[in-house]
């Protein structure tokens, strides 16, 4: 069953894209009708819900639009699912944010060490169609023989492009690079520079429920180890549900979520291997677009990679 996960995710993403084509066409008809004054009922229905932000209508039919348009926050309504990133899966939408993630990894490196990882991410949309991500890391490694070390880890860069986006769907692609800025001999880096390509999807399922999916590949370009894979296939899926807190002071929303993330390596000395992890968590939304995350990650197979991961994250939009 685990071996079928990448194919299932691929077909699911393809179905979502095809299914959204009708929605994109309908959105274009509504916009055209508004200009002609022939969709008053739709406008009236929409105005019943408070909203703010910029509406999107990006697709392949107007592919050359939006590349030079400055990015603006999304429109938020009382009935739509909010576009907020989760802990591990790369989001299909864009957001301008500062993110701080702390991860405690138990029994990493085949049980040889416990690792504390602090990642500092800055995500900056340049236009409606483009965004850059910068994510350096700090690591503290506590080995089982009581030795310890700490310092800078590897740095991840990404350039992302929006392919399709409307009120209910975001579908983007991203080119990523993982640079070996950490010292491999001290256990602070992987020692491999990789480049990758990703497809990410976010969609609103209604009732403030959202679904995210990811497919990607990573290829080593330098410092390759014989025991490591020549190509890694990445896949993931996540679902979340947002609950309003009403009149509660400071706390504006609570979102439980669950992520399933995996990786399959090809070309290693051990042959192809699957790694699938489960990450349930909760997101708390406070005032002034400030979010706090907590999560607990466990491996579903290949438990030699790590035993448990404890996640704590903070996001501040700006």
Residue 171: which of 243, 90, 273, 106 has the closest Cα? 90
Q: What is the dihedral of CA 209, 175, 98, 17, to 10 degrees?
A: -20
Q: What is the pLDDT of residue 272?
A: 61
Q: Which of 195, 187, 184, 188 is nearest to 159 (CA)?
A: 195
Assign 38 to helix, strand or coil: coil
Predicted pLDDT of residue 89: 95
Residue 15 has a pLDDT of: 52
Residue 279 confidence (pLDDT): 96
Per-residue pLDDT of 124-150, as tens digits, reads 999 999 999 999 999 998 887 777 888
Which H helix or E strand runs over 16? helix 5-36
In the predicted model, residues of the chain with pLDDT beneath 50 are: 2, 17, 20-52, 226
Count CB atoms within 10 A of the CB of residue 94.
26
For residue 35, what pLDDT is reported?
A: 41
pLDDT score of 182: 84
Spans of all domains in the chain: 2-317
CATH architecture of 2-317: Beta Barrel (2.40)
What is the model's pTM? 0.79
């Amino acid at each position: 069953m685990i071996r079928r996960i990448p194919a299932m995710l691929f077909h699911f993403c393809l179905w979502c894209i095809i299914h959204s084509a009708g929605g994109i066409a309908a959105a274009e008809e509504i916009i055209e009708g508004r200009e002609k004054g022939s969709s008053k009922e739709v406008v009236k229905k929409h105005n019943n819900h408070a909203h703010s932000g910029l509406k999107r209508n990006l697709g392949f039919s107007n592919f050359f639009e939006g590349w030079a348009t400055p990015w603006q926050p999304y429109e938020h309504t009382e009935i739509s699912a909010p576009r907020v990133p989760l802990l591990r899966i790369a989001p299909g939408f864009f957001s301008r944010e500062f993110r701080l993630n702390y991860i405690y990894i138990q029994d990493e490196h085949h049980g040889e060490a416990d690792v504390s990882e602090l990642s500092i991410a800055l995500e900056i949309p340049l236009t409606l169609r483009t965004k850059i991500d910068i994510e350096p890391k700090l690591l503290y490694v506590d080995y089982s023989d009581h030795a310890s070390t700490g310092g800078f880890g590897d740095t991840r860069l990404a350039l992302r492009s929006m392919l399709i986006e409307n009120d209910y769907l975001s579908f983007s692609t991203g080119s990523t690079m993982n640079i070996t800025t950490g010292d491999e001999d001290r256990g602070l880096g992987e020692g491999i520079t990789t480049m990758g390509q990703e497809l990410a999807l976010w969609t609103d399922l209604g009732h403030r429920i959202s679904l995210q999916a990811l497919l990607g590949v990573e290829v080593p370009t330098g410092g390759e180890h014989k025991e490591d894979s020549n190509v890694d296939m990445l896949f993931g899926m996540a679902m979340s549900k947002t609950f309003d807190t009403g009149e509660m002071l400071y706390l504006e929303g609570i979102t439980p979520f669950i992520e399933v993330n995996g990786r399959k390596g090809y070309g290693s000395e051990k042959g192809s291997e699957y790694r699938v992890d489960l990450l349930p968590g909760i997101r708390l939304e406070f005032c002034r677009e400030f979010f706090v995350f907590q999560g607990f990650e466990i491996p579903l197979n290949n438990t030699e990679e790590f035993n448990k991961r404890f996640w704590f994250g903070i996001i501040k939009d700006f």
